[in-house]
Amino acid sequence: MIVTLKSGAKKKEIDQVIAKIKELGFRPQISQGAERVVVGVIGEGNKAVTYKDTFESMPQVEMVTPISKPYKLVSRVFKKEDTVIDVRGVKIGGKNVVVMAGPCSVDTRELVLANAREIKKAGVRMLRGGAFKPRTSPYSFQGHGEPALQILADARKITGLPIISEVMDTRQVELVDRYADVLQIGARNAQNFDLLREVGRSKKAVLLKRGVAGTIEEWLMAAEYIVAHGNPNVMLCERGIRTFETATRNTLDLSAVPVAKYLSHLPVIVDPSHGVGVREFIVPMAKAAVAAGADGVIIETHPNPAVALSDAHQALLPSQMASIVKQLRAVAEAVGRTLE
């Protein structure tokens, strides 16, 4: 349930509503809109609805709206305006489209720095790189851990690019949080609820990938876990789902972009590299993602894919990114967006 206060409500009046929510045993979640303050009444099940009349009787309250969806705080009903997340000055959401790129796995300092310098020159705004890697086989490369995070931090210091890195386990959150600007939750952990709760306690932005067989509602419910535990800075990432098709690694569900943006105020990012897993199809799907309304794309790049420690077959060259960014900018402008 959400409580919408009248335009111009004073701090004292807002505090009275918050106090009443706590008095009734619920948890308030505040959203400051352009004109009005909206307060979510968070609690188990739909018990809050039984107090609808209580809040409607308060003079500073304009209206009380029950939310029928199981996800509340990430719902477009709770917040009508698009959420814009600021990561070291890079704004994700709203009118702007952001390009993110980098290696699947951090390997050597020299390769990562070469990658970062090239993509920065091309117009990419954020650097991604895996320090911990969830792999199907226990014998596959699992990531270099903290040394990889240190390399990413060096790349940020040299290029200014904010960094995104995956966290796989609750025990890793504090470590990755210390280095990264955005914590990535991978597809295999999309319903790891303990991990979602833990990153919800972080102040860092979160890139939440859709599960390999997850529905859009399950994806939004995973985001709800993070937001409900105190972290509103969540980006949804469509990265392809598992279907019977074998021509591509996954089936990139671009219909999820407008659906998610209709249901939720959170920014939506598309990962065409994992979505198709075939080098030749990545750029067309990146352009299609921007046309569909994505707030950003995340693309795997590596200076020498032949020596990449994972996902070599879907890594593009950093030198290709200047042309790709130019193409994506043209698509963004065609649909009334901007790409810095």
CATH superfamily membership of 2-65: Phospho-2-dehydro-3-deoxyheptonate aldolase; domain 1 (3.30.70.1140)
Q: How far, in Å, CA of 286 to CA of 270, rounded? A: 7
* Token pair recorded at residue 9: 């409500």
Spatial CA neighbour of 42 closest among 201, 225, 259:
225
Given pLDDT bands bounded at 50, 70 and 90, which one contains residue 36? confident
Residue 158 and residue 153: Cα distance in Å, rounded? 9
**pTM confidence score:** 0.92
Which residues belong to CATH 3.30.70.1140 in the chain? 2-65
Q: What is the mean pLDDT of residues 131-137?
A: 79
Residue 46, pLDDT > 90, answer no
Neighbours of 18 (CB within 10 A): 16
pLDDT tens digits, residue range 263-295?
999 999 999 999 999 999 999 999 999 999 999
Average pLDDT over residues 325-334: 98
Least confident of 76-85, 193-202, 208-217, 285-294: 76-85
Q: 22 to each of 12, 48, 231, how far by Cα in Å?
A: 15, 11, 19
Domain with CATH 3.20.20.70 in the chain: 85-339
- Which element (helix H / strand E) includes 119? helix 109-122
Q: Which residues contact 323 (CB under 8 A, 6 or more apart)?
A: none
pLDDT in tens, 76-95: 988 989 999 999 999 999 99
Please give the CATH topology (third level) of the domain spanning 85-339: TIM Barrel (3.20.20)
Select, from the ranges 1-15, 59-73, 291-305, the one with the highest average predicted confidence (pLDDT): 291-305
Q: Taking Cα atoms as reference points, which of 190, 143, 85, 153 lies closest to residue 308?
A: 143
316 to each of 82, 149, 306, 312, 319, how far by Cα in Å? 31, 22, 11, 9, 8
